[in-house]
Amino acid sequence: MATRSKSSQRWLKEHFSDPFVKKAKAEGLRSRAAYKLEELVERDRLLKPGMVVVDLGAAPGGWSQWIRQELDSLNAAKPGRIIALDILEMPGLAGVEFILGDFREDQVLTQLEQALAGQTVDLVLSDMAPNMSGVDAVDLPRAMHLSELAMDFADRHLRVDGTFLIKLFQGVGFDDYVRELRRRYAKVSIRKPAASRKRSPEVYALAQGKRATPT
């Protein structure tokens, strides 16, 4: 039987002692990531009844699950739509449409666009991240490529005055990316929610008020 490395043992200990992991389990949520989204969304009251939401990098479904619950609580008669996408399998969620595939592939993007069937999107969420190797020179360009694809999608499908929330990793390309967001949106905030582990280089960019044309 293989023994776990010290780093693996340390991660497991940290994970299972994490208060957000315990809270998610107690509340029946799929992942602790839901609490990142809760803090980011509720502060600006971003959700409205009947919204169309696209959740990129959705698995295991914590964000989509939380959004579905919140939209139903706002007005169950106007449920809106949630379309979730990930390269990993995600167990089904009632009221969430799921597309399995790699967002970097044109055919998967086409499938998502066909699912929208001409509907504009009110809120684009992206929690996408590449498989991390631990080598910044490899990981950061991969992460930035996904971020660029998410921005391109929001450029085409997010309605004017809509909102784009994306996970970013600080490093090469970060400042330029945020500068591009500021050209496209009236307000851009960089936030680190309490549920985001302090040692993680991730932050979230909340871009509100999509402009009709970049400045």
The tens digit of pLDDT for each residue in 121-134 reads 999 999 999 887 77
Sketch the domain layout of the chain as residue ranges: 6-210
Binding-site residues from annotation: 61, 63, 86, 102, 127
Percentage with pLDDT > 90 across the chain: 71
What pLDDT digit, counting tens, does each position of 131-147 carry? 877 777 788 999 999 99
The active-site residue out of 6, 13, 167, 192 is 167
> Is the pLDDT score of 4 beyond 60?
no
Cis, bond preceding 60 (omega within 30 deg of 0):
yes
Look up the pTM and report it: 0.86
Per-residue pLDDT, 26: 63
Q: Which helix (H) or strand (E) holds 123?
A: strand 121-126
Q: Is 167 a catalytic residue?
A: yes
Residue 1: its pLDDT value, please?
Answer: 42
pLDDT number for residue 201? 84
Q: What dotted CATH number matches 6-210?
A: 3.40.50.150
Query: Phi/psi of residue 7, each to 5°?
Result: -65, -40
Query: Which residues belong to the annotated binding site for S-adenosyl-L-methionine?
Result: 61, 63, 86, 102, 127
Question: How far is residue 6's CA from residue 101's CA, in Å, rounded to a whole number?
Answer: 34
